[in-house]
Amino acid sequence: MLITNVALISTGGLTALIAVAILLILLIVCNIRIVPQARAAVVERLGRYLTTWETGLHFKIPFIDRVAKNVILMEQVADFPPQPVITKDNVTMQIDTVVFYQITDCKLYAYGHVNPISAIENLTSTTLRNIIGELDLDGTLTSRDVINTKMRAILDEVTDPWGIKVNRVELKNIIPPKEIQDAMEKQMKAERERREAILRAEGERNAQILVAEGKKQSMILEAEAEKQSAILRAEAVKETKIRESEGEAEAILKIQEATAAGVRMINEAAPGQGYIAIKGLEAFAQAADGKSTKIIIPSEIQSLAGLATTASELMKKE
């Protein structure tokens, strides 16, 4: 009986030990924390800030330490709904903004503000109203970069004590009233029509200029062609005249050469006075056939004429 009781006690004690060991293991496992990449955890001990866990494996003391806040270190986007704003020229429009921010200090982010994102939204709304209130409608529509830069500088300065870095602020949409949109569309349509008319007029003017330039070039080319043709014709006439002159000169030269040869042959033959007189009569006969009204007869021909008369008379007497 005693042995049985001891055995039961031993079995119960072993079970209790095993249960305690399992509880301890579970407790240890439950207090092991793994912080992923680009994340951090703010840890408190007995309600007071202890440390910030970076990426890796960590262990907290049960019932003493606790993870107060898990923080995302990547850049995040806060898209706020449209806000009604009034421009300097009293035009009410809707503008929605997008804020790109990143948490740089986990401790300040955890304890700097109760709801920092809501604070950023309200701060964005008020800052946007202040900036737009200094601009008119046209300035608002054409000054997005200026508005973005001013808002980013103001938000970054205010959120710095909260451990938040504002990287960019963008105006997502600017929605003016319906009547303003209609007026802008009409203005844009009129501007497009004006540009179209200007482009059409410039096109027609350029076309006329090109046509005139083409005619001018054509006339210049025709004149140049006519000039070249005249030059070629003149050169051809000149060449023809030169050839004719050369032919005439050659013919004259041939005649002179023939005459000289005849004279030379006559001189070599030593002609008598009678031959010379006959030649003179032939020349006289040729001169008499002309249209001259006055004939001058050389003395030799006169003597020859007397000689011919005498010879004629002697032939009659016989």
pLDDT tens figures, 230-275: 888 888 888 887 877 777 777 777 777 777 776 677 667 666 566 5
User: To which H or E segment does residue 159 belong?
Assistant: helix 144-159
Collapse the DSSP code of 46 into the 3-class scheme (helix H, G, I; strand E, B; otherwise coil) and give the result. coil
In the DSSP assignment, the letter for residue 176 is: -
> Across 13-118, where does the E strand assignment appear?
32-35, 39-45, 48-53, 56-59, 65-72, 76-79, 83-86, 92-103
Find where tokens 């501007």 sit. Answer: 191
Burial of 193 (0-12, 13-18, 19+ CB in 10 A): exposed
CB contact at 8 A, 35 and 41? yes
- φ, ψ of residue 240 in degrees (nearest 5): -65, -45
Among residues 78, 38, 31, the alpha carbon closest in space to that of 54 is found at 38
pTM of the complete model: 0.55
Q: Quick one: DSSP state of residue 77?
A: E
pLDDT tier for residue 283 given thresholds of 50, 70 and 90: low
Q: How far is Cα 195 from Cα 210, in angstroms, rounded to an integer?
A: 22
Given this model, what pLDDT does residue 288 score? 56
Q: List CB contacts of 139: < 8 A, sequence separation 6 or more.
A: 87, 88
176: CB partners within 8 A, 6+ apart? 91, 93, 137, 141, 184
Give the chain's mean pLDDT.
81
**In this predicted model, what pLDDT tens digit does every residue of 158-170 receive, in sequence order?**
999 999 999 999 9
Query: What's residue 187's pLDDT?
Result: 79
